[in-house]
């Protein structure tokens, strides 16, 4: 609240100025981030950051004990309440190990962890009651998140400290994701085995939840039934719902029960300078899931997680469509992902739509997929106006770029190392188009360098709703197998080089209006450059300069014919 001070005399002026300074909002110098808004392809309003009163409170002064054993839940609550009553400020967590139960942020609070501070949430699951929340795009009963805020504004979590969710007390583990010694030690530590002893749960309540429904969102009839499997209903670690002007700047967020950080229906969100970590085997161990949020910047972060790293969502199926809030106006720059199912991901819960997204200057190292778009029939929603550039990727097991409209909730790589993709060269029956049909269009990718162990890329739409208006420009993709385009329309590949080890460099199946220019591929050992498959494939524009021996380098299969080609 702004206070208007009137001058009442020269003697009082110094006192009034001192009071005004003490009660004013602090505006400490902030590093210039104008570069984040450079070279954007759409109108992007500048994200508003929270500003806090120049007031701080140290939890040590409230009696917090930094021994890693004493529960400090009441101290954190007291500090937040005290600052909130005064109009807000910074709650300082000094060096030490602080154990706590759930912490709920309020408006105008900056939770600041100093160097050497470790906030660790308790592994006593009884401290986390069931609450009405959201998970995987739907309303759901979940255990209370360790750190949360609902309907607040001007909130922040800052500083160089660490926030640890004690996720191993919550998460199941699949045998196939561990070495033999790791699995033996885990089983010997206690817990419960299910699924023919191939899956471990930390408690019987959690195991019973899996027995009743292997879905993460079990559909039960009563609250009492949910309570009986409470431990199975793992929370996201940081849940921010319907909040305005949110800043996450500096901390390490690690070891979450489910997703790590989940902003939902938030406006003006800044995520920068974070380290986000989870064990690579962590079930649903996402890094950052931005859902139905507007005006967001994400930059200078490092991710090393067990599922998708940077993921955009907007609700699932009917609930997501009825919510109708897209994720829009988002800039993602200068992030590094060391491990994850996907480096940058949209979906699969995208029923409210995703639009106006810029991603650039990122590095993905060993992610199962680099750039990942995923959805399924039943979702509905439109993903459009996505711009991705200057991405470097190494050691990608499946594809550096994947569009998959047949996503079934499985990881890109199954436990035996095989791909979870359906066959991409089989005729699939088209369904009737309805509000449940997802649409991906107007997506532009350029300046890509990648190597991997699977396919160069996969662009796959639906027979009834083609992947539409996608461009890939200036890309060098090295992989054992080539680049497949399936059920797509109006696709442009410009200056794309595929260094494949076997089969054709490019395969087109049931696709139309495909422009291919300045293509390069591995021609050693008589490898083909292009395979045209399916009678519906047509309107393929090629440059003669790209094919020195087209009779040997281009093959027609599965009903395709040469009339599909348009030479220039």
Residues labelled as active-site residues: 307, 341
What lies within 8 Å, CB to CB, of 134 at 6+ separation is: 140, 142, 241, 264, 291
Interior angle at CA 470, CA 467 and CA 476, nearest 5: 120
Which region holds residue 400: left if phi is over 0, alpha if psi is between -120 and 50, else beta? alpha
Fill in the DSSP letter of residue 315.
B
CA 313 to chain centre: 8
Q: 311 in helix, strand or coil?
A: strand
Tell me, letter by letter, the H, E, C secondary structure of 457-472.
EEEECCCCCCEEEEEE
Residue 186, H or E segment: helix 180-188
Q: How far apart, in whole angstroms, are the C-alpha atoms of residue 339 and residue 54?
A: 39
Q: How far apart, in whole angstroms, are the C-alpha atoms of residue 307 and residue 340?
A: 5
> Alpha helix (H) ranges present in 193-316?
204-212, 223-228
Backbone angles phi, psi at 329, to 5 degrees: 60, 70
Q: How far apart, in whole angstroms, are the C-alpha atoms of residue 482 and residue 454?
A: 9
**In the numeric block, which tokens belong to residue 429?**
């029956």
Fill in the DSSP letter of residue 436.
T
Distances (CA, A) of 212 to 143, 172, 194: 18, 15, 12
Q: How far apart, in whole angstroms, are the C-alpha atoms of residue 443 and residue 383?
A: 8
Q: How far apart, in whole angstroms, are the C-alpha atoms of residue 490 and residue 514?
A: 6
Which residue's entry shows tokens 């859902």? 291
Backbone angles phi, psi at 27, to 5 degrees: -130, 70
Q: 192 in helix, strand or coil?
A: strand
């Amino acid at each position: 609240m702004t206070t208007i001070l009137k001058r009442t005399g020269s003697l009082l002026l110094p006192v009034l100025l001192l009071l005004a300074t003490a009660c004013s909002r602090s505006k400490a110098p902030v590093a210039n981030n104008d570069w984040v808004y450079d070279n954007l392809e759409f109108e992007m309003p500048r994200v508003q950051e929270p500003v806090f009163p120049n007031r701080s409170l140290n939890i040590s002064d409230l009696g917090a004990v930094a021994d890693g054993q004493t529960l400090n839940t009441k101290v954190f609550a007291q500090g937040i309440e005290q600052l909130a009553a005064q109009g807000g400020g910074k709650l300082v967590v000094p060096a030490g190990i602080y154990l706590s139960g759930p912490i709920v942020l309020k408006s105008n609070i900056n939770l600041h962890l100093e160097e050497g501070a470790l906030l660790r949430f308790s592994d006593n699951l009884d401290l986390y009651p069931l609450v009405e929340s959201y998970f995987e795009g739907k309303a759901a009963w979940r255990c209370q998140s360790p750190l949360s805020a609902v309907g607040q504004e001007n909130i922040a979590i800052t500083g160089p400290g660490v926030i640890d969710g004690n996720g191993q007390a919550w998460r199941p583990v699949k045998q196939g994701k561990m070495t033999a010694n790791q699995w033996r030690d885990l089983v010997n530590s206690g817990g419960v085995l299910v699924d023919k002893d191939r899956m471990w749960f930390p408690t019987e309540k959690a195991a019973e939840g899996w027995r009743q429904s292997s879905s993460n969102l079990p559909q039960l009839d009563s609250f009492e039934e949910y309570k009986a499997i409470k431990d199975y209903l793992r929370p996201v670690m940081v849940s921010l719902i319907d909040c305005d002007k949110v800043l996450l700047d500096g901390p390490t967020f690690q070891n979450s029960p489910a997703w790590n950080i989940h902003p939902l229906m938030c406006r003006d969100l800044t995520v920068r300078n974070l380290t986000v970590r989870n064990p690579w085997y962590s079930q649903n161990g996402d890094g950052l899931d931005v859902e139905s949020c507007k005006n967001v910047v994400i930059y200078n972060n490092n991710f090393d997680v067990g599922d998708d790293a940077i993921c955009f969502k907007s609700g699932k199926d009917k609930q997501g469509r009825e919510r109708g809030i897209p994720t829009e106006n988002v800039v993602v720059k200068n992030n590094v992902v060391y491990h994850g199912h996907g480096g940058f991901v949209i979906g699969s819960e995208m029923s409210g739509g995703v639009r106006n997204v810029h991603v650039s200057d990122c590095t993905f190292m060993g992610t199962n997929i680099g750039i990942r778009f995923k959805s399924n029939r039943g979702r509905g929603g439109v993903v459009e106006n996505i711009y991705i550039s200057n991405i470097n990727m190494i050691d990608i097991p499946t594809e550096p770029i994947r569009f998959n409209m047949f996503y079934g909730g499985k990881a890109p790589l199954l436990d035996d190392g095989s791909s979870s993709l359906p066959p991409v060269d089989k005729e699939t029956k088209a369904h009737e188009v309805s509000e449940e049909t997802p649409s991906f269009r107007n997506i532009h990718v350029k300046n890509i360098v990648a190597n991997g162990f699977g396919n160069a890329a996969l662009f796959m739409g639906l027979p009834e709703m083609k992947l539409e208006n996608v461009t890939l420009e200036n890309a060098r993709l090295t992989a054992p197998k080539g680049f497949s385009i399936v059920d797509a329309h109006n696709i442009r590949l410009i200056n794309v080089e595929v260094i494949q080890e076997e089969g054709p460099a490019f395969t087109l199946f049931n696709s139309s209006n495909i422009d291919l220019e300045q293509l390069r591929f591995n021609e050693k050992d008589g490898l083909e450059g292009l395979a045209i498959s399916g009678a519906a494939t047509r309107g393929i524009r090629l440059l003669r300069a790209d094919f020195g021996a087209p009779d040997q380098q281009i093959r027609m299969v599965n009903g395709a014919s040469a009339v599909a080609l348009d030479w220039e």
